[in-house]
Amino acid sequence: MSFDLNQKIIFITIPIILTSSIPFLLITGPFLPDLALSTCALLFFINSIKNSIFSYYKSRFFLFFILFYCILLFSSLNSDLIFLSLKTSLPYIRFGIFALSTWYLLDQDKNLINKIFNVTIFTFSLLIIDGFFQLFFGFNLLGWKMVDTPRISSFFGEEWVLGSYLARLMPLFFSCFIILHGDLKKSAKYLIYLIFILTEVLIFIAGERTSFFLSNLFIIYILILSKKFKKIRLYCWLLSILLILTISIFNKNSYTRIFITTAYQIGFGSGKINIFSKEHEGHFISAYKMFLSNKILGIGPKLFREKCDLDEFKGQYSCSTHPHNTYMQLLAETGFLGFLCVFFTFLTLLFFSLKQLYYNFFLKKKLFTDYSLSLFSCLVITLWPFVPSGSFFNNWLNVIYYLPIGFLIWSLKRNKI
């Protein structure tokens, strides 16, 4: 499809700039990345109407997304606080359309991968420099002091999401590296390897236990299923472990928080083992009671915080902004229908991963490219059930969740899968 110059600027150039800037905008907080995502979704929707681009909306991804979106709307409409819940569920459609926008932009300009790769290199490098500076001096490059002495947060300030940001964007970063690997100079490759190593160390010293687990889950996923790039991932991982062990000798804070505190919270050595901490289990019990009160549609998206102090749901450690687990939140707020959509997505990812494993070891063939596998791992760590998590409806997290999806759909369509 041909565009005049103005249309190309509005519908191609501007969305590419906004999409590729998201990794950097995410360190500024939730407003700017959400604004960039929403603008891209809106421009793609207008472009679709104006130029009759409807094939993307007929994809299996979007049809399934619309099913989930309708469940969210029905759940909100069925809740006691309709308008409060609709503030979350009604605009949620922008995330699905954004994934289509990214897919469309890649069809128009494959250089989007190069652009987002370069922005991620810059952002990760900036966080690495600032994070280690804060570790050694107690304040970052902007003069922000550590809020909690054993932990660093870099430019995120009082928000403990540095590790989450790095762990969740690393698979997308690695997938871009895979695509561009053949065009990179040797010196550039060594720089990327160094970023991989220091990123994993930074996640550790940030003290975010879930993020540290997810970053290692991603690495193990690639080591098991990847073909060509597993050696690169393995060597970087081993070097990062060596650095982490060295740091742990001289600085016990991160080691204590990641391992000792975690073991204590789950009751290791006490005779009673908890899957999660007592606080988290209190949230889960409250969420489960909410699920039982409306098993089909739940209490309504993002209403856990409004309902957790009611007598019928209240208990020890019951109240928080959300239950701190994706699936418990979905059961509580969207019922079995919302839970089933997301859990089915996770099971589908697990099925394709096992299928790839079968192809690797028994058929000696490659079902998915390493690029697609790295993008699969983005969703695997996002939907992994057995860890505490942020709110499923958090705007900042959803930008991260949906950013890789357009790249994955484009990859699978390109390889006719």
313-332 pLDDT per residue, tens: 887 877 889 999 999 999 99
Give the integer Cα–Cα distance in Å for 417 and 415: 6
Q: Which of 2-16, 269-283, 326-340 has the lowest mean pLDDT?
A: 269-283
> Of 316, 294, 323, 333, whose CA–CA distance to 385 is shortest?
323
Q: Which of 2-6, 67-71, 219-223 has the lowest mean pLDDT?
A: 2-6
Structure tokens at 299: 């209490």
Read off the pTM: 0.93
* Mean pLDDT calculated for residue range 128-136: 93
Question: Rounded to whole angstroms, what are the CA distances from 241 to 206, 212, 264?
Answer: 15, 12, 23
Q: Evaluate if residue 262 carries a pLDDT over 80.
A: no
Give the integer Cα–Cα distance in Å for 69 and 92: 7
Give the integer Cα–Cα distance in Å for 320 and 279: 10
Question: Rounded to whole angstroms, what are the CA distances from 92 to 104, 130, 248, 392, 394?
Answer: 20, 33, 42, 11, 10
Alpha-helical regions (H) of 78-208: 82-89, 93-108, 112-137, 162-180, 186-205
DSSP 270-321: TT---SS-HHHHHHHHHHHHHHHHSTTT-S-TT-HHHHTTSTTT--TT--SS
For residue 329, the model assigns a pLDDT of 97
- Cβ-contact 67, 81 below 8 angstroms: no
Q: Evaluate if residue 88 carries a pLDDT over 70.
A: yes
* 3-state SS assignment for residue 366: coil
For residue 261, the model assigns a pLDDT of 65
* 3-state SS assignment for residue 145: strand
Residues facing residue 145 across a β-bridge = 139
Close Cβ partners of 134 (under 8 Å, ≥ 6 residues apart)? 140, 144, 146, 152, 153, 154
Q: Which one-letter amino acid corresponds to residue 379?
A: L
Question: Rounded to whole angstroms, what are the CA distances from 222 to 85, 117, 403, 405?
Answer: 38, 19, 20, 18
Encode 267-286: b = buried (16+ Cβ within 10 Å), e = exposed.
eeeeeeeeebbeebbbbbbb
Give the integer Cα–Cα distance in Å for 337 and 297: 6
Q: Regarding predicted confidence, which is higher, 22 or 248? A: 22
Q: Which of 15-19, 27-31, 261-265, 408-412 has the lowest mean pLDDT?
A: 261-265
Q: Evaluate if residue 269 carries a pLDDT over 60.
A: no
> Measured in whole angstroms, how far is the alpha carbon of residue 75 from the centre of its chain?
24
Question: Rounded to whole angstroms, what are the CA distances from 137 to 5, 143, 144, 205?
Answer: 50, 10, 11, 14
- Cβ-contact 86, 79 below 8 angstroms: no
Tell me the domain boundaries of the chain.
5-268+320-414
| pLDDT tier, 409 (very low <50, low <70, confident <90, very high otherwise) | very high
